[in-house]
Structure formats: C-alpha cells, structure tokens
Amino acid sequence: MRDGLVVRVDGVEVAAREGDTVAAVLVRAGMSSWRRTRHGDGPRGLFCGMGACQDCLVTVDGVPGVRACLAPVGDGSVIETSEVRGG
C-alpha cells in the first residue's frame, strides 16, 4: 500500500493508508460486521458512518467502545473485533 501503515486486526497484520479510519481498514479487508448485539446476537458493522448511531463499535489499543467510522488508525494500531464472540 502506498502509505505503508500496518495495523493488527484480531492479531493479523493488515496494510492501511494514511487517513484511514478503522472502518475503512475493516471494510477494505472484506469485513462488513465486527460486533454482535447483546440480546439478539445480530451482526453489526457500519450503519450511519458518521459517528451518530454507535453501531460500529470496536476495541482499539485496548479501549472498548470506539466508533470505527470516526477513529483514525496509526501505524501499529491494534484493532480487536468481537465478531467471534468470546462471551
């Protein structure tokens, strides 16, 4: 990739570009959902894409509840989805 950032998504190295949001990295990697709902266990990813709906929450550098559509990635960002549910 042209700007050479590398981030980790669920332990796997993924290339990213300067200016990418977490959502951009995940969608480019072919993911459309990265969270499961509490009650119905439904898959969720991007919906409003502008920070209003809170659907696209993800864990970044150990901080949970980060809006993937807003958070920029940096080189070495560690992104954890909860698509594979641990409990």
Partner 1 sequence: MAERYDVVVIGAGPSGMAAAAEASATGLRVALVDQQARVGGAYWRHEPAHAALDDTGMHHDWATFRRLLARLDAVDQLASHAVWSVDHADGGFVVRATHGEVARTPVRLDANHVVVATGAHERVVPFRGWTLPGVMTAGGGQGLVKGTGVAPGRRVVLAGTGPLLLVVADTMLRAGVDVVAVTERGHPLGYGLRPSSWSGAASRSREAATYVRNLAAHRVPFHAGYRVMAAEGTDHVERVVLESRRGRRREYDVDALLVSDGFTPQLELLVQAGAGTRTDDDGSLVVTVDVGQRTSVPGLLATGEVTGVGGASSAILEGYVAGRSITGRDVDPALLDRLAVHRRFARVMHAVHAVDPSTVAELPDDEIVCRCEEVTAGRIRAACRDLGADDPRAAKLMTRAGMGLCQGRTCGRTVADLVALTSGRPVDPDDAPRWAGRLPATPVTLAALAQEAAGVDQT
Which residues here bind partner 1, judged by CB under 8 A? 17-21, 23-24, 27-28, 32-33, 37-40, 42-55, 57, 60-61, 63, 65-67, 69-72
Least distance between partner 1 and beta carbon 86 (Å): 18
DSSP string, 1-31: --S-EEEEETTEEEEE-TT-BHHHHHHHTT-
Q: Quick check: 75 and 15 in contact, CB under 8 A?
A: no
- With respect to partner 1, which residue has the nearer C-beta, 49 or 82? 49
- With respect to partner 1, which residue has the nearer C-beta, 9 or 23? 23
SS3 state at 35: strand
